[in-house]
């Protein structure tokens, strides 16, 4: 069989303990501390040994419930860029991507943070742009309520224009470093931004030279029509949650077809759905592993987690009854997906809670390494994605299993690199370095 010409992209999505909702209860969980540099260092090291394109971190600006902390650690987030800065010094090649919200930040400070990370890591920084979904975040940032969906995306669009503009204020050749002549930079090659828009007034420039990638990689994780529009205009990578191949293909085509509207080619944006793999020596062994995790999910905790995914309080509804009528209008794309699945499958709140607490609506594969690699190849070859963000149930063990057993199969099939050929995240992803200002 001919070798595939294209290779897939792989991200290692790191999360305290692991991605399974009950990973912290697992007898083999790595550490008693949710925020532990050794845990993240080890996980990033394993991902780098596996030649992954990047590690990826989610983030959030609130602790939505103190009561739920009794049985749930999934709201604990180390601040992503701080952690990536630490990982920059213990890794060499792997990309370092982290989440930050456009609703609860200012463009100048975020542009600096990611440009600094890009400098410190020699071109490995990526920013996952989110617009935030929790009311509790609004209450930590001077507001009573989350701005409505359309408004958040309007702000995000201007936010990205400003950040990209700031990253380009210094021409690549602005630093002349003429020691003898006493000239550090050519002021004619450093420009003000002078942005004056509906949300932001930013003079610029940034107080640092253009970073190694020119612009850190832009990832986006919103998949509504507004999210897709923003991604088609500005993103290098889109991270999605989808557990159905046909829907993934439709999304892929829909998103890629919008790129020419912004003068971009389809290949300039990579689509990477999340994937959780329970890997066993046999299929039965893998199923047993998954069953052991499921036993650790308390039904009421699963139902409460479902409330959060839906942004709708289910506590007054019977756990063995159906989902109430939740309006899709104004809900996030993930909530709409869950509501539609519930309509089709007639699952109860208990069943939905147990199901979505495993992988939060992401693709889950339970089987041997061969079966996992086969599903990945099938999605990739069918045009459902350009790669995957790997979300292992327990970390770092699940990632070690993946690197040891699945990555070699992908390499044998010619679907994944055996060595890094580049040194920046853009190079790993096969993306051009954006041209900056010339004059």
Ligand X SMILES: Cc1cc2nc3c(=O)[nH]c(=O)nc-3n(C[C@H](O)[C@H](O)[C@H](O)COP(=O)(O)O)c2cc1C
Residues that bind ligand X (CB under 6 A): 58-60, 99, 101, 130-133, 221-224, 226-227, 239-241, 274, 332-334
Q: Both tokens of residue 155?
A: 């702000």
Residue 173: beta bridge partners?
none
CB of 221 to ligand X, least distance (A): 4
- Smallest distance, Å, CB 183 to ligand X? 44
Half-sphere exposure of 46 (CA within 13 A, CB side): 22
Q: Supply the minimum distance, in Å, between the C-beta of residue 223 and ligand X.
A: 5
Closest to ligand X by CB, 134 or 191: 134
Q: Tell me whether residue 213 or residue 332 sits nearer to ligand X (CB atom).
A: 332
418 Ramachandran zone, left/alpha/beta (phi>0; psi -120 to 50): alpha
State whether the Cα torsion 215-220-226-229 is positive or negative. positive
Q: Which is nearer to ligand X, 121 or 332 (CB)?
A: 332
- 3-state secondary structure (DSSP) of residue 249: helix
- Segments of 204-307 assigned E as strands: 217-220, 237-240, 270-279
Q: Residue 240 CB, nearest distance to ligand X (Å)?
A: 6
Instruction: Considering the complex, state which of residue 72 and residue 133 has its C-beta at the smaller distance from ligand X.
Output: 133
Q: Which is nearer to ligand X, 204 or 222 (CB)?
A: 222
The answer to whether 437 touches 169, Cβ cutoff 8 Å, is: yes
Q: Which is nearer to ligand X, 34 or 296 (CB)?
A: 34
Residue identified by tokens 């309007």 is 154
Q: Please say which residue, 274 or 367, places its beta carbon nearer to ligand X.
A: 274
Q: What SS3 state is found at 73?
A: coil
Helix (H, G, I), strand (E, B), or coil: what is residue 84?
helix
- Give the CA distances from residue 367 to residues 122, 294, 296, 324, in Å, rounded to whole numbers and listed in that order: 38, 16, 20, 34
> How distant is the alpha carbon of residue 172 from its chain centre?
29
Separation of alpha carbons 321 and 319, rounded Å: 6
Q: How far is the CB of 120 from ligand X (least distance, A)?
A: 22
Cβ atoms 87, 54 nearer than 8 A: no
Cβ nearer to ligand X, comparing 234 with 240 = 240
- Shortest distance, CB of residue 191 to ligand X, whole angstroms? 31
d(CA 300, CA 306): 10
In the bound complex, what is the minimum distance in angstroms from residue 139's beta carbon to ligand X? 14
CB-wise, 59 or 285, nearer to ligand X?
A: 59
User: Which token pair is 135?
Assistant: 């009311």
For the record, the structure tokens of 339 come out as: 């509501």
3-state secondary structure of 401: helix
| Least CB distance to ligand X at residue 239 (A) | 5
* Shortest spacing between CB 98 and ligand X, in angstroms: 9
């Amino acid at each position: 069989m001919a070798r595939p010409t294209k290779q897939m992209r792989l991200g290692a999505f790191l999360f305290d303990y692991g991605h399974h909702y009950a990973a912290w209860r697992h007898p083999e969980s790595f550490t008693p501390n949710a925020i532990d540099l050794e845990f993240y260092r080890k996980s990033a090291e394993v991902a780098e040994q596996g030649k992954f394109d990047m590690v990826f971190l989610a983030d959030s600006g609130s602790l939505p419930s103190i009561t739920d902390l009794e049985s749930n650690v999934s709201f604990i987030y180390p601040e992503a860029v701080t952690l990536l800065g630490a990982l920059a010094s213990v890794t060499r090649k792997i990309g370092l991507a982290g989440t930050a919200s456009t609703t609860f930040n200012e463009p100048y400070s975020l542009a600096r943070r990611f440009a600094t990370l890009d400098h410190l890591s020699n071109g490995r920084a990526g920013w996952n742009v989110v617009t935030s979904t929790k009311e509790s975040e609004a209450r930590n940032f001077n507001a009573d309520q989350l701005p409505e969906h359309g408004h958040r995306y309007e702000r995000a669009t201007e936010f990205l224009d400003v950040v990209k503009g700031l990253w380009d204020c210094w021409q690549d050749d602005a630093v002349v470093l003429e020691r003898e002549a006493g000239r550090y930079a050519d002021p004619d090659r450093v420009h003000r931004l002078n942005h004056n828009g509906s949300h932001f007034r930013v003079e610029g420039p940034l107080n640092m030279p253009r970073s190694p990638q020119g612009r850190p990689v832009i990832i986006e994780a919103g998949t509504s029509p507004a999210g897709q529009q923003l991604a088609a205009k500005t993103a290098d990578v889109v991270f999605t949650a989808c557990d159905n191949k046909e829907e993934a293909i439709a999304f892929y085509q829909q998103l890629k077809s919008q790129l020419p509207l912004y003068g971009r080619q389809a290949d300039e944006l990579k689509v990477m759905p999340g994937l959780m793999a329970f890997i066993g020596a046999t299929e039965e062994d893998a199923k047993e592993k998954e069953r052991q995790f499921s036993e650790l999910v308390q039904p009421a905790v699963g139902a409460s987690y479902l409330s959060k995914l839906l942004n709708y309080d289910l506590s007054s509804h019977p756990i063995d009854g159906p989902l109430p009528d939740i309006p899709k209008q104004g809900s996030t794309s993930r909530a709409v997906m869950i509501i539609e699945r519930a309509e089709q499958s007639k699952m109860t709140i208990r069943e939905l809670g147990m199901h979505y607490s495993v992988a939060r609506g992401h693709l889950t594969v339970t089987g041997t390494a061969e079966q996992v690699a086969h599903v990945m190849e099938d999605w990739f070859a069918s045009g459902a994605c350009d790669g995957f963000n790997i979300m292992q149930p327990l970390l770092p063990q699940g990632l070690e299993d993946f690197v040891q057993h699945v990555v070699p199969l992908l390499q044998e099939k010619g679907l994944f690199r055996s060595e890094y050929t580049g040194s920046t995240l853009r190079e790993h992803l096969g993306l051009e370095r954006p041209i900056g200002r010339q004059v």
